[in-house]
C-alpha cells in the first residue's frame, strides 16, 4: 500500500512495473529507523516526505547500517513503518 495518494511536489510519478500503481520518483530510505532514528523522528521524516508527495518507501535496512551496530535489530524498520501506517489510518 502506498503511504499517500497526494500529488507529487518533489518529483513526478511513475507506474510501478506492469501495474497501475503510481509511485513518486523520489523515494524515502528508511534504513536508519530504529538504529539512528527513533520512532518519533521516523514519523517526522515520513510526515515530511508525505507532505512533499513522496509515497515510495524503501525499507531495506542494511545499506549503511552494519549488522554490528549496537541498536540494530532485524525488523525494526518495518515495525516503525507499520506503526506509522496504523497511526495515519487509511488514506
**Could you read off the pLDDT tens digit of each residue along the chain, which spans 91 residues?**
445 444 446 668 999 999 999 999 999 999 888 888 899 999 999 999 999 999 999 987 666 566 777 777 788 889 999 999 999 988 6
Give CA–CA dist 78/41, Å, rounded.
15
- CB contact at 8 A, 91 and 55: no
Q: What is the pLDDT of residue 38?
A: 93
Give the Å distances, CA to CA, from 27 to 24, 57, 69, 72. Answer: 7, 6, 24, 22
Give CA–CA dist 15/66, Å, rounded.
32
Q: Is 63 a catalytic residue?
A: yes
Q: What is the pLDDT of residue 47?
A: 96
What pTM was estimated for this model as a whole? 0.79
Q: What is the pLDDT of residue 64?
A: 58
The catalytic position among 1, 19, 60, 63 is: 63
Amino acid at each position: 500500500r502506498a503511504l499517500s495518494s497526494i500529488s507529487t511536489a518533489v518529483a513526478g510519478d511513475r507506474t510501478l512495473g506492469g501495474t497501475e500503481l503510481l509511485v513518486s520518483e523520489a523515494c524515502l530510505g528508511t534504513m536508519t529507523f530504529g538504529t539512528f532514528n527513533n520512532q518519533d523522528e521516523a514519523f517526522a521524516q515520513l510526515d515530511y516526505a508525505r507532505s512533499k508527495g513522496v509515497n515510495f518507501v524503501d525499507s531495506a535496512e542494511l545499506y549503511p547500517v552494519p549488522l554490528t551496530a549496537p541498536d540494530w535489530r532485524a525488523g525494526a524498520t518495518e515495525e516503525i513503518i507499520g506503526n506509522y501506517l496504523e497511526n495515519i489510518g487509511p488514506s
